[in-house]
């Protein structure tokens, strides 16, 4: 049995209210997009009050090359990943030397050696630790990392796995991309880091924590253009289709019921939903597809409101809030996210 023992989160220092972001968008995109007032309501209807970034607002007022952006990515991904991981281990009462495997998830920058190698040194993790860096999964990466940790514990029940996810979406902002798509991305995405410690029955820790029961993955064919990056000389250009809410409405119920059926369960068995909120329209699409009352998505909306879309990190923030807010014992929860591929990753939990 694999269990989620503890969580930890970290935020960069610059808190930006959505009103400031909207004013920036008007000044930056306004001279280049006809009828800018037609598009600015996306900031008001984003479900976001404020977001956090590693760079101050004035950094976005001039173009920055990819090399400098990636240097900042390595610096801040290491700093925030270290902070989240340290907090997670302290919350568990586990020493760094007890960790057997580190999984690092990110898609907003590149590093070789990967960030997990840097965390091994900063945290003083064991020299013989297993390392698994995961890149390119975007918003689905946090869920996929948890499933990877669950699978590892199934093979090695005495292991302790530290999952660390860091996304610095703000650093991918392309100053010269004056498209409506970039305007919308500027209204949603943010920076953050989260860590989760997953352990098995043989770890010597108290037998508490969320039990991870099973993982599920679904990749829809011929959907490569739904979400991802375009790689340009000056950086990473975000790709996300307007069709994502429609995809959720069309496929989410079938995908999740198929997963549950493999364990002789139906949707009525689920008490809690930990869903990555791509934005308010995506949350609404899940509400309709799964017939969820408002109270089932309140926590999801809270994290989106307070932090924006941090890509892979967001669902781990939701997991952290869920654990800290408390829950009824013996219930089932579904953690799920969507990302490039176009892919869904889901993890069934028992409280």
Give me the active site residues, please.
139
Strand intervals (E) in the chain: 2-10, 14-17, 50-53, 101-106, 130-135, 160-168, 191-199, 210-219, 227-232, 235-240, 270-275, 332-339, 343-350
| Residue 13 neighbours by CB under 8 Å, 6+ apart | 52, 54
CA angle in degrees (0–180, nearest 5) for 252-273-257: 35
Cβ atoms of residues 134 and 103 within 8 Å: yes
Q: In the numeric block, which tokens belong to residue 198?
A: 């997953």
CA torsion through residues 169, 170, 174, 178, sign = positive
Separation of CA 94 from chain center: 24
Q: Are 129 and 102 in contact (CB under 8 A)?
A: yes
Q: What angle do CA 282, 350, 314 make, to 5 degrees?
A: 35
């Amino acid at each position: 049995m694999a269990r989620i023992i503890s969580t930890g989160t970290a935020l960069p220092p610059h808190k930006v209210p959505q009103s400031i972001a909207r004013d920036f968008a008007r000044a930056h995109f306004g001279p280049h997009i006809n009828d800018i007032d037609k598009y600015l309501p996306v900031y008001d209807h984003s479900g976001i009050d404020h977001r956090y970034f590693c760079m101050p607002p004035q950094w976005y007022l001039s173009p920055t090359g990819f090399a400098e952006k990636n240097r900042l990515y390595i610096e801040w991904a290491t700093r925030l990943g270290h902070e989240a991981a340290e907090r997670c281990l302290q919350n568990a009462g586990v020493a760094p030397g007890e960790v057997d495997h580190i999984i690092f998830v990110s898609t907003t920058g590149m590093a070789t050696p990967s960030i997990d190698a840097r965390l091994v040194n900063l945290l003083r993790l064991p020299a013989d630790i297993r390392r698994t860096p995961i890149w390119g999964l975007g918003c689905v990466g946090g869920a996929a990392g948890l499933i990877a940790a669950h699978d590892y514990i199934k093979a090695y029940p005495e292991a302790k796995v530290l999952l660390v996810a860091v996304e610095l979406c703000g650093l991918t902002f392309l100053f010269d991309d004056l498209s409506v798509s970039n305007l919308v991305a500027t209204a949603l995405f943010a920076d953050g880091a989260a860590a989760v410690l997953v352990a098995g029955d043989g770890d010597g820790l108290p037998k508490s924590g969320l039990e991870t029961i099973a993982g599920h993955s679904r990749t829809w064919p011929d959907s490569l253009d739904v979400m991802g990056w375009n790689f340009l000389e000056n950086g990473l250009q975000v790709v996300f289709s307007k069709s994502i809410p429609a995809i959720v409405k069309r496929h989410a119920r079938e995908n999740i019921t198929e997963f549950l059926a493999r364990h002789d369960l139906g949707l009525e068995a689920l008490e809690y939903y930990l869903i990555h909120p791509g934005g308010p329209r995506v949350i609404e699409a899940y509400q309709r597809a799964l017939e969820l009352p408002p109270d089932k998505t309140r926590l999801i909306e809270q994290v989106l409101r307070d932090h924006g879309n941090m890509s892979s990190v967001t669902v781990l923030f939701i997991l952290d809030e869920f654990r800290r807010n408390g829950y009824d014992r013996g219930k089932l929860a579904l953690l799920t996210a969507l990302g490039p591929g176009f892919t869904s990753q889901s993890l069934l939990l028992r409280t």
